[in-house]
Amino acid sequence: MNADIAQFLVSGVTSGSIYGLIALGFSLVQNTTGLVNFAQGEFVMLGGLLSAVISQKTGLPLAVCFALAVIITCGVGVFMERGPLNSSRSREVLILVMITIGFSIFIKGSAMVVLGKRSVALPPFTGEKPFQILGASINPQALWVLGITGLVVGLLTLFFTKTLTGKAMRAVAENPLGARLVGIPERRVVMLSFLLAAFLGAVAGIIITPITTISFDAGVMLGLKGFAAAVLGGYGHLPGSMVGGLLLGVFESLAAGYISSAYKDAFAFVILLFMLFFRSGGLFGRTDLRRA
């Protein structure tokens, strides 16, 4: 394999794993509520920024900083669902989506005031010395990204297939009315979906922060790329979200390497528009949807 192609693939799969985790968060909320949660990117920002700031300010072990960042971010996700969304008088989807946009602005502003404006980073989980495989230079942190992503996806799969709570979430996603009729507490399931979405966002933010710096305004771009990955895979399709993230990361890396790095961020939106125009159901979603 050409060394350049190998390097682009490694870089693309690494960033694609992050996009896939973010896309999973979007799809979880979509399946239980029918909403696009535009605060998903801010969960990513919070996870990375909180872990870095806590580490720098307290000197606590990285594992403790990570746990605190995840717990706080999950608390924010639950508060968002239990507070603004659950308290809204209107249950119209457009109104609720606007609430998620407003809450994302609130999170970003709060992070700027409380955690500061400067960009921060975490130290690598293990060494910094890269190693070579097939001519590609691989940063050890990339292996952490792939390993943790695989672990999280595996645990989610077990959760949805082996536990009663996971099966209840799948039931609500498939048939909300039928789930209510058999006694499944839909509101609790919705709250859990926001908690899991916040968890996925926080984990994505933590594992990417040793590779790139993060600041209070990083959530917008990460969220939009995760949304593009979710649409590419089939919005609401959980395995498709992960596949869409990996494909987007690889396409983005190849475009940056062979066309121009200046268009790296724009490439995600080109794919998003292409999918919306020509295959609105994504690669694995429904394609039989018709305009009203």
Question: What pLDDT digit, counting tens, does each position of 149-203 carry?
Answer: 999 999 999 998 888 888 888 888 777 778 888 888 888 888 999 999 999 999 9
Q: pLDDT exceeding 90 applies to what percent of the chain?
A: 43
Q: Which domain holds residue 178?
A: 3-120+132-278
Round the average pLDDT of the chain to a whole number and report it: 87
236: left (phi over 0), alpha (psi -120 to 50) or beta: left
Rounded Cα–Cα distance for residues 93 and 179 (Å): 20
- Cα dihedral 81, 101, 219, 173, rounded to 10, equals 50
Domain presence at residue 155 = yes
Please tell me the predicted confidence (pLDDT) of residue 188.
87
What does the block give as tokens for 141?
């942190």
Residue 245 CB partners (closer than 8 Å, separation 6+): 16, 17, 18, 19, 20, 21, 22, 23, 226, 229, 233
pTM: 0.91
At 256 the pLDDT is 80
> Considering the domain boundaries, does residue 286 fall inside one?
no
**Residue 102 counted as domain residue:** yes
* Residue 287 binned pLDDT confidence (cut-offs 50, 70, 90): low
| pLDDT tier at 1, thresholds 50, 70, 90 | low
Query: pLDDT tens digits, residue range 3-56?
Result: 678 888 888 899 999 999 999 999 999 888 888 899 999 999 999 999 999 999
* Count of the separate structural domains present in the chain: 1
* Closest to 46 in 3D by CA, of 81, 86, 18, 77: 77
Q: Per the domain annotation, does 148 fall within a domain? A: yes
Q: What is the CATH number of the domain that holds 214?
A: 1.10.3470
The maximal CA–CA distance of the chain, rounded, in angstroms, is 58
